[in-house]
């Protein structure tokens, strides 16, 4: 064949070109039919995964954490457990590797865990968080002893074990445990009405008040004012109430969002001044002299109290529907027998495990909803005064 330049293709060149074209055509057909290309791709994939496996193995062999001494890792894990804001912060670290999991469950780490580290929610309660709380309690963690003690006493109805755990924390001067044991003594919780021990309740409350527990200070002040379990001393009782109000206000002022908290108004009122009228004796004048504290938001509930509230909100009160919960939402305690808690002497529709819960609920909610006894129907009004075994608790 002649070209433009006048030269000719040789016969051998033509034959070679046709052979190459045929070979390329056959290759295209095999690829389209999935012939030779599939094994080549599979071999490449296997080779790629093998290289990745080698890189991961090399990284594991060169892990820098393995070179850290155990003492340093324990120190880091202890700091993490004491500052964790939720359980997942600590659990995610334990699941990083086997070494962290083993060192993270050492008593040195668990004994310093904060209450937020094991603040499990009631809907997620199972054997695993129960075992973790037990490990922390066995390591000497007072917050774990208190939390697990409250759960066992009120939720799991294991009164003896729950009280024993709270007593272990109380021995180590844990103020919430001392106050909770005082509430149990005041109400005779877990027993009959004859099991009330007012003197022991006052002694436990005084110890918690000495440690600066605000609710214990307020409870002790009311006991002294009313002569409840102790010789009446109105002046000393007023002093404890003023001290409780001062500590409550100081706690709000020392918080980071003090400005927004001071602008807070109770029971849905606005800062412009549309509040319900005050009752006489309910703290008119200087808030530090009030029986119910300053008009500041309630503190964040302890994880144990929040667990109790969620538990009974989801599952209801144990041992029948006749039992009631404390009307203060931040408490979560439930009666262990009928008519254990004292009710409001004005309306009789709410009940409280302690005067401290009554004081908090009064300024947060009940002050705007409390109606006098004259609003009751005739039958209840005729038999008013605690004929069902309740004790009345003054609202003002």
DSSP per-residue string spanning 71-92: HHHHHHHHHHHHH-SSHHHHHH
Q: Please give the model's pTM, rounded to 2 decimal places.
A: 0.73
Among residues 298, 294, 301, the alpha carbon closest in space to that of 249 is found at 294
pLDDT confidence of residue 382:
38
> What pLDDT score was predicted for residue 82?
92
Does 145 or 87 have the greater pLDDT score? 145
Question: Distance of CA 67 to CAs 46, 70, 71, 137, 369, Å?
Answer: 33, 9, 12, 31, 64
Handedness of CA 242, 243, 244, 249 (dihedral sign): positive
Q: Return the SS3 of 352.
A: strand
Cα separation, 141 vs 109, in Å, equals 10
The CA-based dihedral angle spanning residues 15, 19, 25, 30, taken in that order and rounded to the nearest 10 degrees: 160
* Residue 367: both structure tokens together: 């002050």
**In this predicted structure, which of 233-247, 277-291, 308-322, 366-380 has the lowest mean pLDDT?**
277-291
- DSSP state at residue 302: P
Q: Strand pairing of 392-393 and 342-344?
A: parallel
Name which of 311, 377, 371 is nearest 344 in CA terms: 371
Residue 379 reports pLDDT greater than 50: no
Residues above pLDDT 90, as percent of the chain: 40
Per DSSP bridges, beta strands 351-352 and 342-344 are antiparallel
- Asked if residue 233 has pLDDT above 50, the reply is yes
Percent of residues, the chain, with pLDDT higher than 70? 66
Return the half-sphere exposure (C-beta side, CA atoms, 13 A cut-off) of residue 264.
19
Tell me the H-state helices in 111-233. Answer: 127-138, 142-150, 159-171, 175-187, 198-210, 214-226
148 or 345, higher pLDDT: 148
Residue 377 per-residue DSSP state: -
- Residue 71 structure tokens: 């003492």
Q: Is 45 helix (H, G, I), strand (E, B) or coil?
A: helix
The confidence band for 250, taking pLDDT boundaries of 50, 70 and 90, is confident
Of the candidates 109, 103, 180, the residue with the CA atom closest to the CA atom of residue 140 = 109
Q: Which stretches does DSSP call E strand in the chain?
A: 342-344, 351-352, 392-393
292/100: higher pLDDT? 100
> How many of the other CB atoms lie within 10 Å of CB of 150?
24
CA distance to 51, 262, 274, per residue, from 39 (Å): 18, 74, 81
Would you say residue 146 has pLDDT above 50? yes
Q: What is the pLDDT of residue 232?
A: 94
pLDDT digits (tens, 9 = 90+) for 71-125: 888 999 999 999 998 888 898 888 888 888 889 999 999 999 999 998 888 998 9
User: For residue 318, what pLDDT is reported?
Assistant: 55
DSSP-assigned letter for residue 124: G
- The pLDDT value given to residue 94: 86
The region of weakest confidence among 54-63, 143-152, 294-303 is: 54-63
Mean pLDDT of 172-192: 94
- Looking at 82-96, 117-131, 231-245, 279-293, which range is the least confident one? 279-293
Q: Is the pLDDT of residue 264 over 90?
A: no
Distance CA 173, CA 178 (A): 8
Q: Tell me the per-residue pLDDT of 43-65, one tens digit each, with 9 for 90 and over.
A: 545 556 677 776 666 655 556 66
Average pLDDT, the chain: 78
């Amino acid at each position: 064949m002649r070209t433009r330049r006048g030269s000719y293709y040789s016969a051998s060149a033509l034959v070679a070109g046709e052979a190459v074209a045929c070979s390329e055509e056959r290759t295209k057909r095999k690829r389209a039919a999935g012939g030779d290309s599939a094994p080549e791709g599979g071999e490449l994939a296997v080779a790629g995964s093998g290289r990745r496996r080698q890189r991961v193995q090399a990284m594991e062999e060169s892990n820098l954490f393995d070179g850290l001494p155990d003492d340093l890792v324990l120190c880091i894990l202890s700091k993490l457990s004491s500052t964790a804001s939720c359980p997942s912060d600590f659990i995610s670290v334990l699941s990083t590797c086997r070494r962290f999991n083993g060192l993270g469950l050492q008593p040195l780490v668990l004994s310093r865990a904060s209450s937020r580290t094991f603040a499990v929610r009631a809907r997620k309660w199972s054997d695993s968080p129960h075992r973790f709380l037990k490990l922390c309690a066995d390591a000497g963690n007072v917050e774990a002893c208190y939390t697990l003690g409250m759960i066992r006493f009120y939720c799991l109805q294991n009164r003896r074990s729950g009280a024993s755990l709270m007593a272990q924390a109380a021995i180590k001067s844990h103020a919430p445990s001392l106050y909770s044991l005082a509430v149990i003594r005041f109400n005779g919780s877990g027993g009959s009405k004859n099991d009330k021990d007012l003197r022991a309740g006052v002694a436990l409350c005084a110890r918690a008040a000495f440690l600066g527990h605000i609710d214990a200070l307020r409870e002790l002040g009311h006991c002294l004012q009313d002569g409840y379990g102790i010789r009446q001393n109105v002046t000393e009782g007023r002093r404890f109430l003023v001290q409780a109000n001062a500590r409550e206000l100081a706690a709000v002022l020392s918080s980071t969002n003090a400005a927004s908290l001071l602008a807070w108004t109770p029971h849905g009122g606005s800062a412009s001044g549309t509040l319900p009228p005050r009752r006489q004796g309910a703290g008119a004048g200087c808030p530090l002299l009030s029986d119910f504290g300053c008009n500041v938001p309630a503190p964040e509930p302890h994880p144990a109290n929040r667990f109790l509230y969620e538990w009974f909100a989801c599952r209801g009160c144990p041992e029948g529907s006749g039992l009631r919960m404390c009307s203060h939402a931040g408490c979560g305690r439930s009666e262990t027998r009928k008519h254990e808690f004292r009710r409001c002497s004005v309306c009789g529709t709410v009940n409280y495990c302690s005067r401290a819960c009554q004081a908090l609920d009064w300024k947060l909610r009940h002050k705007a909803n409390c109606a006098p006894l004259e609003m009751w129907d005739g039958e209840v009004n005729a038999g008013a005064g605690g004929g069902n075994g309740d004790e009345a608790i003054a609202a003002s």
